[in-house]
Amino acid sequence: DLTLTGVCKSFGKLEVIRNVDLQIEDGEFVVFVGPSGCGKSTLLRCISGLEDITGGTLTIGGERMNDVPAAKRGVAMVFQSYALYPHLRVRENMGFGLKVRKVAKPEIERRVDEAARTLKLDSLLDRFPRELSGGQRQRVAIGRAIVGNPEVFLFDEPLSNLDAELRVHMRAEISGLHKRLGNTMIYVTHDQIEAMTLADKIVVLRDGMVEQIGSPRDLYYRPVNTFVAQFIGSPK
């Protein structure tokens, strides 16, 4: 499992994450929601190791991760902006992280091919990012995360650059991926429908604090306050 105990993050004097307690079971799909600036991305970056936490404890699989570098946490992050290397072909983009970690070339090829099959990218492996559609680029970004075989996937608004139709399609793909891989996913979104359809558990954040944690049903039918009710779109 993955646990946060009293996790805090400040940038100078600005307290962005305040005393967050959270327990995530293996294989759970957890969605972070909350208004712009409430700290969703920062919390995700703290879990991934892209930011150091300034208080509390983070453990993954029972191991304290506070000072463990990002590459050794067994997590992979997928960004809204895809962050693909424009000068590398799809297969090189997907294998890049493994190459950096000095994984042997045949093993990289094997894992890239397998991820490409999973994401239906087989026929696109020799293209450059500029030759792909938005949805295809997003699949490459997810593929790059898959090849590292992470225990935990972290997604920061991965679909917000896509049009409505593609968003619905990719949502189903991510859901299918979760069912097939069975690993833990933590997913940040602005989109209530995305949150309600994907999540086992939703975490509502407000000003860096947890406002409520529960299943989509719980939050919808039993919001703890009007803030959560309005955010989730509960019936009046």
Residues forming the site for ligand ATP (CB under 6 A): 11, 14, 16, 34, 36-42
Q: Which does 147 bind (CB under 5 to 8 A by kind): Mg ion, ligand ATP, none?
A: none
Question: Is position 189 an interface residue for Mg ion (rule: CB under 5 A)?
Answer: no
Q: Does 42 bind Mg ion (CB under 5 A)?
A: no
Q: What's the gap between Cα 212 and its chain centre?
A: 19
Instruction: Name the residue whose CB lies closest to Mg ion.
Output: 41
Nearest-approach distance from CB 29 to Mg ion, in angstroms: 19
Closer CB to ligand ATP, 16 or 170, in the complex: 16
User: Min. distance of Cβ 175 from ligand ATP in angstroms?
Assistant: 22
The residue within the footprint of Mg ion, chosen from 28, 34, 41, 208 (CB under 5 A), is 41
Q: Report the partner that residue 42 touches, choosing among Mg ion, ligand ATP, none (CB closer than 5 to 8 A by kind).
A: ligand ATP
Measured from the CB atom, the residue of 41 and 136 that comes closer to Mg ion is: 41
Cβ of residue 79: shortest distance to ligand ATP, in angstroms?
Answer: 11
